[in-house]
Amino acid sequence: MDALPVDLLLRVAVVAALVFSLTAAFLFDQPSAFGAQLRQRFVLGLPWGTLLSAGFVLAVYLFLQGGWARWNAPVTLPFRAWSYLYPLGMLSAAFSHNGPGHLIGNLVGTLTLAPLAEYAWGHFTRERGTQSFSSWRTNPYVRAFVIFPAVVLAVGLLTSFFAIGPIIGFSGVVFAFAGAALVNYPLGTVIALAGGGALRLVYNALQTPILTRSARPAYISPWWADIAIQGHALGLLIGVLVGLVVVRARRRADRPSARRLWLGTLLFATEQSLWAVYWFRGGETYVLYRAAGVVLVALLSLVVASAVVARDDELFRWELAGDSGVVRNWQVAVGVLLLSTAAIAGPAVPANLYTATSGDLPGDELTVRDYEVTYAENVENGLVAAVDIEAFGETTAVNTSGVIVRSEQRGIWSTAVPKGRLAFDGQVAVRLGGVGWRETVYAQRDGWNVLGNRTAYRVALGNTDSARVVYTSDPVTAGPVLAGRNVTVVPNESQYYLRVTEGNDSLSAGLPAKNESVTVDGLTFTRNRSRVFVSYDETRLQLLSKETYE
């Protein structure tokens, strides 16, 4: 019999170690009422609403986005929240994901944070004078299998409809779970967050028991530039508002203290990088306002704590046109929370009322059904905002470079592959599609590094069988002057040319094929596999080297 693979043995060891250590920990303790407490709050002691929500998100990834057939390559472009004029994106964005890592991260967050929120609410009502089966609102099965999942869907749609930009992912809802849990169990939420890290570690250990890496160059954008801060903050505040309904229904003695609320919110917001407020300056440049983010996190912690612990005492009375009323402390605190939520959500409305620009795309384009794909550099981003805004030295009018995808039918305008990413990888897949179909377009770059200057390059678009050049860079002249002559590399749709210029005269020839030579105006160019040498008189130097990719 063949020996078992090492990876399989290590996976078994991980599972066995966890089961053994957890069982031993339970045996060391005296019998507890933990299981009974769960059954008092959950049907059969399980958070069914959490499990159904996680299952729905997984189903969207597998079947709507095509993850079942291609786990690592889901279709994402048509399932983003591009604008109110594209309902499919708005309805699906909060439940779709960029890839397996994005999906697993949000599922782990759901499985660790959502049970706390569901436990606080409970399948069995705790309102005095009510019985579990007296109405559909108090029926534990309705609460577990209908109401909780329905609230999750509603929060997901809110985070999609009031998020700025073409968001994708369940993280806004995960932050809502955290908000609802924080106001009920602030320190328990922080512990659950750490539990999520442990779950991710176990998942990674099972998926890749041994990982080998070596030093290598990488194309990396700032980590904070990939975080949907506005969507996360919006989800958190929505969750806090939902959680307030639950926590304020309890006796004051059962509510968390202000210090715990402040500390729990601060720790959670810091760990989840809600302080990472940034702006996209254009090209591939981002600006991080770290100090301002820390101030906002501190204020957020204060707003959340005050909304929960504020008393019902009278703050002041008002009279107007014969009417009068009383304003209480908790109403002011909750009002500040509502205003904060509106301030975060409000800018999304005008932004999402607009859609992608029409008209001709820059450069040559490739058409796939309703999609248009091209490559351009230093062009204005075509996802039109409601108004042009300039403040603090920044502006909403920014330029972009890379592979551009547009669909007027769907309101999509996206720099699907930044220029730097394509220059680093050489070939990048752009996945297009819709409900029930998908097609992949490959962007391919080839180029020559010119001695003493930049790189001359071309970009082609197509499938695995054929591609056509849609963009060529400007000609690039070599730094050295050779026998009074300048040599310029000229990219063309069909090939590269060598142009030799002396004074006002110039001669050109195509770049020689591998292991061949060409002579232009007395200069002999010889090419091997990846380099081009130039010879004149008794001098020979390397003039060009083929661009390489990781």
User: What is the per-residue pLDDT across 128-152, written as a single tens digit (0 to 9) for each?
Assistant: 555 666 677 778 899 999 999 999 9
- Is residue 342 located within the same domain as residue 392? no
- Is residue 281 located within the same domain as residue 418? no
Return all residues near 435 (Cβ < 8 A) that are at least 6 apart.
64, 78, 88
For residue 57, tell me if it sits in a domain.
yes
Task: Convert the pLDDT of each residue in 379-434 to its tens digit.
Answer: 887 765 445 555 555 555 678 899 999 998 898 988 899 999 999 999 999 999 99
Residue of higher predicted confidence among 125 and 271: 271
Beta strands 486-491 and 476-477 are antiparallel
Tokens at 213, concatenated: 């890496």
Cβ atoms of 514 and 521 within 8 Å: the answer is no
| Boundary of a domain, candidates 434, 449, 464 | 449
Q: What is the pLDDT of residue 235?
A: 94
Cβ atoms of 526 and 513 within 8 Å: the answer is no
For the four alpha carbons of 222, 227, 228 and 230, in that order, the dihedral sign comes to negative
For residue 321, tell me if it sits in a domain.
yes
| Boundary of a domain, candidates 325, 352, 379 | 352
Length of the chain: 550
- Is residue 254 located within the same domain as residue 378? no
For the four alpha carbons of 182, 185, 190 and 196, in that order, the dihedral sign comes to negative
Share of the chain above pLDDT 70, in %: 91
- Is residue 229 located within the same domain as residue 181? yes
- Is residue 348 located within the same domain as residue 375? no
Instruction: Among 95-104, 160-169, 217-226, 305-314, name the most confident range.
Output: 95-104
**Where does the pLDDT of residue 1 fall: very low under 50, low under 70, confident under 90, or very high at 90 and above?**
very low
- Is residue 306 located within the same domain as residue 374? no
**Where does the pLDDT of residue 537 fall: very low under 50, low under 70, confident under 90, or very high at 90 and above?**
confident
For residue 38, tell me if it sits in a domain.
yes
The C-alpha atoms of residue 306 and residue 318 are separated, in whole angstroms, by 22
For residue 35, tell me if it sits in a domain.
yes
Mean pLDDT lowest among 277-291, 452-466, 515-529: 277-291
For residue 456, tell me if it sits in a domain.
no
Q: What is the pLDDT of residue 69?
A: 92
Of 377, 407, 357, 391, nearest in space to 282 by CA: 377
pTM: predicted TM-score of the whole model, two decimal places: 0.87
Counting Cβ atoms within 10 Å, is residue 80 exposed (0-12), middle (13-18) or buried (19+)?
buried
Mean pLDDT lowest among 227-236, 244-253, 364-373: 244-253
For residue 466, tell me if it sits in a domain.
no
For residue 465, tell me if it sits in a domain.
no
The C-alpha atoms of residue 460 and residue 473 are separated, in whole angstroms, by 12
Secondary structure class of 395 (helix, strand, coil): strand
Task: Convert the pLDDT of each residue in 313-363 to its tens digit.
Answer: 776 776 666 676 777 778 888 888 999 999 999 888 888 887 776 777 887
- Is residue 75 located within the same domain as residue 14? yes
Q: What is the pLDDT of residue 94?
A: 96
Q: How many domains does the chain have?
A: 3
Residue of higher predicted confidence among 131 and 96: 96
- Is residue 372 located within the same domain as residue 309? no
- Is residue 172 located within the same domain as residue 310? yes
DSSP type of residue 72 = T
Task: Convert the pLDDT of each residue in 21-62 to its tens digit.
Answer: 888 877 777 666 667 788 888 888 899 999 999 999 999 999
Cβ atoms of 177 and 121 within 8 Å: the answer is no
Please give the single-letter amino acid code of residue 46.
Answer: L
Cβ atoms of 222 and 418 within 8 Å: the answer is no
Mean pLDDT lowest among 104-118, 209-223, 254-268, 318-332: 318-332
- Is residue 327 located within the same domain as residue 427? no
Task: Convert the pLDDT of each residue in 272-290 to its tens digit.
Answer: 989 888 877 766 778 888 9
For residue 423, tell me if it sits in a domain.
yes
| Boundary of a domain, candidates 449, 464, 496 | 449
- Is residue 238 located within the same domain as residue 377? no
Q: What is the pLDDT of residue 386?
A: 44
Q: What is the pLDDT of residue 22?
A: 80
Structural domain boundaries enclosing 506: 473-546
The C-alpha atoms of residue 406 and residue 86 are separated, in whole angstroms, by 13
- Is residue 330 located within the same domain as residue 370? no
pLDDT at 157 over 70: yes
Tokens at 220, concatenated: 């990396």
Average pLDDT over the chain, rounded to whole? 87
pLDDT at 253 over 70: no
